[in-house]
Chains A and B, each alone.
Chain A
Amino acid sequence: MGTIFFLILFPLVVAFVLLVVKADAARGVIVKLAALVIAAASIYLAVQYFQGGDRYFDFSNENVNYVLMVIEVCLAVYIVITGIKHKKYLASVFAIIQTPVMVWFELTEGHHIEVAHNLYYDRLSVIMVLIIGIIGSLITVYALGYMKDFQHHHAGEKDRRPWFFFVMFLFLGAMFGLVMSNNLTWVYFFWEITSLCSFFLIGYTKTGEATNNAFRALIMNLLGGMGFATAILILGFVYQTLELSTMITYGMMYSGIMAIPAAFLAFAGITKAAQMPFNSWLLGAMVAPTPTSALLHSSTMVKAGVFLIIKLAPCLGMGNFAGLMTMTVGGVTFLMASFAAISQSNAKKVLAYSTIANLGLIVTCGGIGTAGAVWAGIMLIIFHAITKSLLFLCVGTAEHNIGSRNIEDMDGLFGRMPRLAAFMMIGIAGMFLAPFGMLISKWASMTAFVDSGNLILVGIICFGSAATAFYWTKWLGKLSAIVAGTENIQQNVHKEEWFVHATLVVLTIVACLAFPLISSTTLVPYLEGVFGGLSSMALSADNMIIMVVMVAVVLLLVAFFFGKTKKKIVPIYMSGVNEGDNLQFHGSMDKPVSASLRNWHMEKYFGEIKMNVIGCVITSAVIIIGLGLMIGSLVAIMTGGAA
């Protein structure tokens, strides 16, 4: 239990120290040390776990609840005031509704409900802790160099970096709390903290656009928070429990009954995981500095949403409306976001849509709620966290060095920043290509979808993965193009950034090579614990070994043969009028004309707005119907119970 407290409180302490420290050098040292300690502590927790197994901690202290409540009220007051100040009344309204209700509930009903275990860890939390602890802290280290450049680019503005690092570490602490709390009121507390943290991080630059987008994120997440609060109220009043573990145990036995609170929790998860129709907040978050995007997309925030849904998976499934609602929203989001990514040329936007799509897939897996689907979902979480943070940070570095985040401007990055391009290519390959990470999970989820019998989802994943391959490969192609006459400019990149990139690349490769081990030591036991008995896995052991061997083969091929050729290098074919430099051709006006190559975005087919409208309409309808049905059956239970 000590380690859990340390993981929650230590980032908090660091956060306050960083708020006070103004000097660059001191901040650098503190952040690096703190990142090291957090990563070490999360690994220590994992080690501790594998010695002891699942642990639930009976930590009951009334005062903690009161402290949390007071903080919650303070935050609510803050939200109400800023909401009014910026004329974003919806945020204030949401805060005014949910906080008093929660306080009232805790003071009256919640008071009497016995919570046996407030904190816990099991294999899923350990995985999450490792992701947050390692990738999250790597991102903070990366942020050191990046924010220095950022401040340099925005020279005239006030240096708010202490605040930035304060929020980042606070975020990490809250995430640790979120994944290891068993008491739902505590989960709710940390949930709201992460919403607020993302609000601060997105609004960091304080431009009009940033503030707007920050409020959008806040409003959507507060809406999700309302769903969360509703679920807690229902659980408390109707089922007399506030424990996640109890809820899941009940859910396994009577999934029909637990579907009602599960639906509201899943709704909260859907908002946080930026599923349609709430995807716009994650896209809006792109205005923030890159480390923010990386943090939000890979290890924290959105992962909190999918974590909750995966955790709830036993209460969902094909058999109840909560499950159907979740999987449909996830599936539609996956398809539409994958299509929308095709039409984008802004690298960060492509990454954002790909995040939304992948989260959609995870949400779908959680919604299906079979052992195989959850296996795929957890694998997706792991691989996505590593690969996506790598890609975001690479794009951030590229942006600062080539002055653009447009994929079209990354033409021939292989010549200009060979190492960065190689890292990005590894990241992209990891996102969609056999035999690397994400594809393994996509494979497993495809099998799980077929097994679940939901053929619409099967169709969705078939079309969605075709689209996925399309937009990644065209980016890969842009990076790999060898453009003549480019100059190597990668010496300007900060040491910290290289360190973080390299670590993430190593992690990506290690994860690809070690995933059968992760599966057998962590995922399978977890699933056996949750779903009972030996559950059939989506991927057979043979296939996993084949995948690992293929990764090794690709790596060896690259290591031994890449770029080694003795052939004569000749100019490219340009209809016989190549000027000789491969960049220009001799035009009809007897003058050199430069040839420029651009990617294909198929705006007419996969236009962003069109995809968003279609996706949002369908998912909104599904959510309204789903939650409506749940409220209906709740009323039926209540009145039936009274009679």
Chain B
Amino acid sequence: MSYVTKSPWVIHYDGSSCNGCDIEVLACLTPMYDVERFGIINTGNPKHADVFLVTGSVNEQNKEVVKQIYSQMPEPKVVVAIGICANNGGIFKECYNILGGVDTVIPVDVYVPGCAARPEAIIDGVVKGLGVLQEKRNAMDGNTAAPAPAEKEEA
């Protein structure tokens, strides 16, 4: 077993959103949910991160930022789109400057729906992401093929 799943450090980016999911992500760190139990640390630095948590939708302004943060994360890495806006644009979908969900600019591995997504769901999503992380880690060693980006499934 690889250690990537035992110490998933996350980076969190909030796109176009109402900040609801954003707050729920931080709620995961509180004593109530305490994700550090799983070794999860919120790093704020893509170079240290394994899991990219995106809340909110992608617009013309932030698409480059999302892409760059993603590109600056070292492999293996997974992307978890949290909340309906991150999944497909949500209530902002029809806005003039919105591209849609996170998967319009970077490959997404896990979709966590909800408006706002509940902390339990977010934790479940990250844990699901760990499986993908493990597969990607194995793929780096050349054992298996890299997993394809997830079909939309509910976490």
Q: Do chains A and B touch in the complex (CB under 8 A)?
A: yes
Chain A interface residues toward B at CB < 8 A: 570-571, 573, 575-578, 586
The stretch of B1-9, B29-37, B64-72, B97-105 in contact with A is B64-72
Q: Which of A570, A571, A573, A577 contacts B64 (CB 8 A)?
A: A577
Specify the chain B residue showing the minimal Cβ separation from A580. B68
Is A573 in contact with B46, judged by CB distance below 8 angstroms?
Answer: yes
- The yes or no answer to B144 lying at the interface (CB within 8 A) is no
Chain A residues, Cβ within 8 Å of B72: 570-571, 573, 576
Chain B residues, Cβ within 8 Å of A570: 72
Given A570-B72, A571-B72, also A576-B65 (CB < 8 A):
yes
- The yes or no answer to B45 lying at the interface (CB within 8 A) is yes
Specify the chain B residue showing the minimal Cβ separation from A568. B74
Interface size in chain B (residues, C-beta < 8 A) = 10
Expressed in whole angstroms, the minimum distance between the Cβ of B2 and any Cβ of chain A is 20
Is B65 in contact with A573, judged by CB distance below 8 angstroms?
Answer: no
Additional 11 contacts, C-beta under 8 A, given A573-B47, A575-B65: A570-B72, A571-B72, A573-B45, A573-B72, A576-B46, A576-B69, A576-B72, A577-B64, A577-B65, A578-B68, A586-B64
CA of A586 to CA of B63 in the docked complex: distance in angstroms? 13
Task: Give the number of residue pairs across the A-B interface with Cβ within 8 Å.
Answer: 20
CA of A573 to CA of B65 in the docked complex: distance in angstroms? 11
Most chain B CB atoms below 10 A, which of A570, A576, A577:
A576
CA of A575 to CA of B47 in the docked complex: distance in angstroms? 11
CA of A576 to CA of B72 in the docked complex: distance in angstroms? 8
Expressed in whole angstroms, the minimum distance between the Cβ of B138 and any Cβ of chain A is 20
CA of A586 to CA of B60 in the docked complex: distance in angstroms? 13
Expressed in whole angstroms, the minimum distance between the Cβ of A427 and any Cβ of chain B is 33
Chain B residues, Cβ within 8 Å of A575: 65
Expressed in whole angstroms, the minimum distance between the Cβ of A581 and any Cβ of chain B is 13
Contact with A along B26-64 (1 / 0, CB 8 A): 000000000000000000011100000000000000001
CA of A26 to CA of B46 in the docked complex: distance in angstroms? 63
Chain B residues, Cβ within 8 Å of A571: 72
Chain B residues, Cβ within 8 Å of A576: 13, 46, 64-66, 68-69, 72
CA of A547 to CA of B55 in the docked complex: distance in angstroms? 55
CA of A578 to CA of B69 in the docked complex: distance in angstroms? 10
Expressed in whole angstroms, the minimum distance between the Cβ of A572 and any Cβ of chain B is 9
Expressed in whole angstroms, the minimum distance between the Cβ of B46 and any Cβ of chain A is 7
Chain B residues, Cβ within 8 Å of A586: 64
Q: Which 6 A-B pairs have the closest CB atoms?
A: A576-B65, A576-B69, A576-B68, A573-B47, A577-B65, A573-B72
Expressed in whole angstroms, the minimum distance between the Cβ of A56 and any Cβ of chain B is 69
Specify the chain A residue showing the minimal Cβ separation from B69. A576
CA of A573 to CA of B68 in the docked complex: distance in angstroms? 9
Chain A residues, Cβ within 8 Å of B46: 573, 576
CA of A570 to CA of B72 in the docked complex: distance in angstroms? 8
Expressed in whole angstroms, the minimum distance between the Cβ of A568 and any Cβ of chain B is 9
Specify the chain A residue showing the minimal Cβ separation from B75. A568
CA of A571 to CA of B46 in the docked complex: distance in angstroms? 12
Expressed in whole angstroms, the minimum distance between the Cβ of B63 and any Cβ of chain A is 11
CA of A576 to CA of B63 in the docked complex: distance in angstroms? 10
Chain B residues, Cβ within 8 Å of A578: 68
Chain A residues, Cβ within 8 Å of B69: 576
Expressed in whole angstroms, the minimum distance between the Cβ of A434 and any Cβ of chain B is 31
CA of A570 to CA of B71 in the docked complex: distance in angstroms? 9
Chain A residues, Cβ within 8 Å of B64: 576-577, 586
Q: Could you list 16 A-B pairs, sorted by A, with CB under 8 Å?
A: A570-B72, A571-B72, A573-B46, A573-B47, A573-B72, A575-B65, A576-B46, A576-B64, A576-B65, A576-B66, A576-B68, A576-B72, A577-B64, A577-B65, A577-B68, A578-B68
Expressed in whole angstroms, the minimum distance between the Cβ of A349 and any Cβ of chain B is 37
Contact with A along B60-92 (1 / 0, CB 8 A): 000011101100100000000000000000000
CA of A447 to CA of B65 in the docked complex: distance in angstroms? 56
Chain A residues, Cβ within 8 Å of B65: 575-577
CA of A571 to CA of B72 in the docked complex: distance in angstroms? 8
CA of A551 to CA of B65 in the docked complex: distance in angstroms? 45
Specify the chain A residue showing the minimal Cβ separation from B70. A576
Chain B residues, Cβ within 8 Å of A573: 45-47, 72
Chain A residues, Cβ within 8 Å of B68: 576-578
Specify the chain A residue showing the minimal Cβ separation from B61. A590
CA of A570 to CA of B69 in the docked complex: distance in angstroms? 12
Specify the chain A residue showing the minimal Cβ separation from B46. A573
Specify the chain B residue showing the minimal Cβ separation from A577. B65
Chain A residues, Cβ within 8 Å of B47: 573
Specify the chain B residue showing the minimal Cβ separation from A575. B65
Expressed in whole angstroms, the minimum distance between the Cβ of B53 and any Cβ of chain A is 14
CA of A576 to CA of B67 in the docked complex: distance in angstroms? 8
Expressed in whole angstroms, the minimum distance between the Cβ of B24 and any Cβ of chain A is 22
Specify the chain A residue showing the minimal Cβ separation from B62. A576
CA of A323 to CA of B13 in the docked complex: distance in angstroms? 66
Chain A residues, Cβ within 8 Å of B66: 576
CA of A122 to CA of B47 in the docked complex: distance in angstroms? 61
Specify the chain A residue showing the minimal Cβ separation from B48. A573
Expressed in whole angstroms, the minimum distance between the Cβ of A585 and any Cβ of chain B is 10
CA of A140 to CA of B65 in the docked complex: distance in angstroms? 56
CA of A571 to CA of B73 in the docked complex: distance in angstroms? 11
Chain A residues, Cβ within 8 Å of B13: 576
CA of A163 to CA of B69 in the docked complex: distance in angstroms? 63
CA of A578 to CA of B72 in the docked complex: distance in angstroms? 11
CA of A586 to CA of B69 in the docked complex: distance in angstroms? 14
CA of A576 to CA of B69 in the docked complex: distance in angstroms? 5
Expressed in whole angstroms, the minimum distance between the Cβ of B54 and any Cβ of chain A is 12
CA of A578 to CA of B13 in the docked complex: distance in angstroms? 16
Chain A residues, Cβ within 8 Å of B45: 573
Most chain A CB atoms below 10 A, which of B47, B65, B68, B69:
B68
CA of A220 to CA of B127 in the docked complex: distance in angstroms? 76
Expressed in whole angstroms, the minimum distance between the Cβ of B90 and any Cβ of chain A is 22
CA of A575 to CA of B72 in the docked complex: distance in angstroms? 10
Expressed in whole angstroms, the minimum distance between the Cβ of B21 and any Cβ of chain A is 19
Expressed in whole angstroms, the minimum distance between the Cβ of B60 and any Cβ of chain A is 10
CA of A66 to CA of B95 in the docked complex: distance in angstroms? 100
Expressed in whole angstroms, the minimum distance between the Cβ of A519 and any Cβ of chain B is 47
CA of A573 to CA of B46 in the docked complex: distance in angstroms? 8
CA of A577 to CA of B65 in the docked complex: distance in angstroms? 6
CA of A573 to CA of B69 in the docked complex: distance in angstroms? 8
Expressed in whole angstroms, the minimum distance between the Cβ of B96 and any Cβ of chain A is 16
Chain B residues, Cβ within 8 Å of A577: 64-65, 68
Specify the chain B residue showing the minimal Cβ separation from A588. B61
Expressed in whole angstroms, the minimum distance between the Cβ of A132 and any Cβ of chain B is 53
Expressed in whole angstroms, the minimum distance between the Cβ of B70 and any Cβ of chain A is 9
Expressed in whole angstroms, the minimum distance between the Cβ of A571 and any Cβ of chain B is 7
